[in-house]
Amino acid sequence: MLRIGLVGVGYLGGRHLNHLSTLEGVQVSAIWDTSAFALLNAANAYKVPVANDLADLISKSDALVVVSPTTSHFEIGMEVINAGKPLFIEKPICATGVEGRALVESAEAKGVPIQVGHIERFNRAFRTLKNLDIHPRFVEIHRLAQWNPRGGDVAVVHDLMIHDLDLLLTLAGCSPSHIHASGVGVISTSIDIANARLEFPTGLVANVTASRISLKKMRKVRLFGEHEYIALDLNKGTCEYVGAEMGTSTTQFGAPLPGVEILGEMEMGPRRMRLFRNFIEAPEGDAMRLELSAFRDAVIDGTPPLVSGRNGLEALEVAEAILLKIKEGHHGST
pLDDT in the model for residue 180: 97
pLDDT in the model for residue 283: 77
pLDDT in the model for residue 267: 84
End-to-end alpha carbon distance in the chain: 60
Instruction: Report the distance separating Cα 230 and Cα 132, nearest Å.
Output: 10
pLDDT in the model for residue 86: 98
pLDDT in the model for residue 34: 95
pLDDT in the model for residue 114: 98
Mean pLDDT of 35-39: 95
pLDDT band at residue 329 under the 50/70/90 scheme? confident
Which top CATH class is 2-120+287-305? alpha beta
Is the pLDDT higher at 27 or at 266?
A: 27
pLDDT band at residue 334 under the 50/70/90 scheme? very low
pLDDT in the model for residue 131: 83
Query: In the beta sheet, which residues pair with residue 32?
Result: 7
Cα 127 to its chain centre, rounded Å, is 12
Mean pLDDT of 259-286: 86
Mean pLDDT of 255-260: 77
pLDDT in the model for residue 322: 98
Please list, in sequence order, all residues whose beta carbon lies within 8 angstroms of the beta carbon of residue 120, skipping any fewer than 6 positions away: 126, 163, 164, 166, 167, 234, 287
pLDDT in the model for residue 151: 63
Going from N- to C-terminal start, the domains of the chain cover: 2-120+287-305, 123-286+321-327
Average predicted confidence (pLDDT) for the chain:
93
pLDDT in the model for residue 323: 96
pLDDT band at residue 153 under the 50/70/90 scheme? low
Q: Is the pLDDT of residue 307 over 80?
A: yes
Q: What DSSP assignment string belongs to 32-70?
A: E-S-HHHHHHHHHHHT--B-SSHHHHHHT-SEEEE-S-G
CATH number assigned to the domain covering 123-286+321-327: 3.30.360.10
Query: In the beta sheet, which residues pair with residue 64?
Result: 5, 87
Mean pLDDT of 177-181: 97
pLDDT band at residue 201 under the 50/70/90 scheme? very high
Mean pLDDT of 3-25: 97
pLDDT band at residue 333 under the 50/70/90 scheme? very low
Mean pLDDT of 241-261: 82
The pTM for the full model equals 0.91
pLDDT in the model for residue 115: 98
Mean pLDDT of 86-103: 97
Mean pLDDT of 248-259: 78
Percent of the chain exceeding pLDDT 70 equals 97
| φ and ψ of 105, to 5 deg | -65, -35
pLDDT band at residue 332 under the 50/70/90 scheme? low
Q: Tell me which residue of 142, 194, 191 sits closest to 168, measured CA to CA.
A: 142
